[in-house]
Each structure stands twice: as C-alpha cells, then as structure tokens.
Amino acid sequence: MGSNASFTSLLDAEQQTRLAKVLRDGNYRLVDVPYTTVAADGEACRIALYNSGKCCIQGKGARTFVEFVLEPEILRTARLGYEELLDPARFEPHLGVDESGKGDFFGPLVIAAAYVDRELIPVFDDLGVRDSKKIASDRRLLETAAALRQRLGVRYAVVAISPRRYNELYAKMRSVNTILAWGHARALENALEKLPGCKRAISDQFGSASLVTRALLQRGRQIEFVQYHKAESDPAVAAASILAREGFLLALRRIGETYKTILPKGASGMTRSAAVELVKQHGPQVLLETVKCHFKTTDEVLAAAGHTRADLGAVGTARSRSYLPPAATDGGNS
C-alpha cells in the first residue's frame, strides 16, 4: 500500500455520529481541517469526516483503521472504500482541461485548466464539484465556481476567446477543433507556469490529441496529455468545466450589458430572434462582436434582417484581413 494509502467512504447520519464519538472520545488527536465535521490524527493516519458525509482516511495506517475501527464500529459491515486502489491515477497530481460556449451562438469560447491532487479531491467532493452540465442553475454554478477558485488559489487558468477573436481565428483556421486545441494548449501553458511540477493533463475527446500537443509550447511538451470520452468524470476536468462555464456566463452577461439586452444561451429559435433584433438595431457587423459567425444560424439571422454574409465584411487586423467562410456544412450549427 505504501505510505500514502487512502480510503474513502460515504457515511449516513447515524454512521457519522458514531465516527464523531469515536474520534472525540478515543485515543485520537483532534485537528482542524477545512470543510469537516471532525478530523483527527490516529496511529499513522488522518481521519477526516467532511460536511458532505464523506470520510477520508489517509496514511500508512489507513488500512488498519478501516479494518479494525471503521468497518466493525462505524460501518458495521466489511466494505472498504478502495477508490484509490481501483483508480490510483485519479488521486495523482494532474490538470484537467475543459471548455464552455462551443455550442452557444452568442458569447465567447472559454477554456479552463484546473489542478487536483489527493488532498483536493475530498474538498472538491464537499463543494459538489461535478460536470458543469449537471449543475441545475446558473446561480448554483457561479457559487460553486467562486468557492472552487478560493480553494484552488493560483492552481488554475482560464482562457476566454471573445466572439471577435473567435471569428478571426475561424477565418484563419477554418476548424472548431483547431481553435479548441489552440485554446486547450494556452490554458495548459498558463497553468503550468504556476505548476511546473505537474506531469499529466486530461481533457475530453474532441479530436486528435496531436492537435493539442502540436499547439503546446516548450513547457507543455514536457507533460503527458491524455484525451478520453466522458472525461468530466475526472475531478480535475469537472473543476475545469465549472470554471470555464463561469467564465462563459459572466462574459455573456457583460456582452449583453454592452448592448443593453439579455443574450440567450444555446442556439435556439429565441437565440435567432435576439440576434435579428441586434442586427436591426446595430447593423450586421454587430454579429462579429457577439456571435460565432460560422454557425448556420448566422445566415438565417442575416436573411431575416435583410442582409447577406458579405455584409459582415472582413475580420482581422489592418495588416492581415480575411473573410469568414460560409457556414459549416457538417449538419450541425458548428
């Protein structure tokens, strides 16, 4: 097991009461641990009961405590919490990367990288860190993101690609996946500036991993970069998804305030109607500042407002201007 054995178990209310009594009345030294009901040092291990009900036992004496105290006295059944044994990579220090806004017509594309290690995992659990798409309300997500940033300190990075910049990149790269890879690489590089010892990063599968590794700079090329489907089950990727969604929601709100309107999320009929009104009030080039223009919705909006894609004009700098290509033809919006 080594010196860093770790066991976790979710306790019901009765079990939590029993554990708290054992730790307070037994031969243990109580310690202060954030987000815990009670925590104590035992024989070569630390026992922490978090507010969420999750009990985490760490240290070379963890197995002994589980076998001779937790199971017989608290759980009253033999069922070890072998999370670290079953998935040791989950507990190793690593970065997770995820994005938000890719499927939203209005607003930026935001990519975040977040760090996790063995000590942060129970903290994440207590905060309710999970895939941002599973958090029911924007208010709850923003609250979770704020608490998460406080706990992470400097151990995260967020890259926000504004609609204007996104449209410039798309006119140049002609590929959403290439933009995603560029953004993932920038977020990783920024995080690694603060975490030079981190050796591994994980993201959801959105294209060939080589797209990201080619976009990484010298620092990023020293790490192992892994992609797999449903990577949001990893705590670092889940944390990154929350921070990315926070960045998207706040930026969308700011853009709406600039144009004195509320911009809807997604790519629905309501989104189309809001964009038509924007074009009628501010002209077709407002789309370059507010939406991802390669969406097919752009052509529908322009037609409804009496314009064509040519009316968008060129994007880019004065020295390097290019024109947006026609809408994507892959059957979707993007």
Q: Do residue 65 and residue 128 come from a single domain?
A: no
> Higher pLDDT residue, 46 or 4?
46
pTM here is 0.73
Q: How far apart are CA 260 and CA 75, in angstroms?
A: 57
Q: Do residue 184 and residue 233 come from a single domain?
A: yes
Structure tokens at 130: 């999970």
| β-bridge mates for residue 225, sequence order | 201
> Higher pLDDT residue, 7 or 28?
28
Number of domains in the chain: 3
Q: Do residue 170 and residue 317 come from a single domain?
A: no
Residue 209 has pLDDT above 80, yes or no: no
pLDDT in tens, 236-280: 999 999 999 999 999 999 999 999 999 999 999 999 999 999 999
pLDDT value of position 319: 46
CATH of the domain at 82: 3.30.310.10
Q: Do residue 76 and residue 40 come from a single domain?
A: yes
The 3-class secondary structure across 133-175, one letter per residue, is HHCCCHHHHHHHHHHHHHHHCCCEEEEEECHHHHHHHHHHHCC
3-state secondary structure of 264: coil
| β-bridge mates for residue 47, sequence order | 40, 57
Residue 174 has pLDDT above 70, yes or no: yes
Residue after which a domain boundary falls, among 86, 116, 135: 86
| β-bridge mates for residue 57, sequence order | 7, 47
pLDDT in tens, 272-313: 999 999 999 999 999 999 999 999 999 999 999 999 998 887
Judge whether 214 lies within some domain.
yes
Judge whether 108 lies within some domain.
yes
* One-letter identity of residue 313: G
Report the range of poorest mean pLDDT among 180-184, 258-262, 306-310, 329-333: 329-333
Q: Do residue 26 and residue 136 come from a single domain?
A: no
CATH of the domain at 217: 3.30.420.10
Average pLDDT, stretch 67-85?
A: 74
Q: Which of 23, 93, 94 is nearest to 56 (CA)?
A: 23
Q: Do residue 17 and residue 159 come from a single domain?
A: no
Report the range of poorest mean pLDDT among 2-6, 73-77, 133-137, 141-145: 2-6
Domain extent at residue 76:
6-86
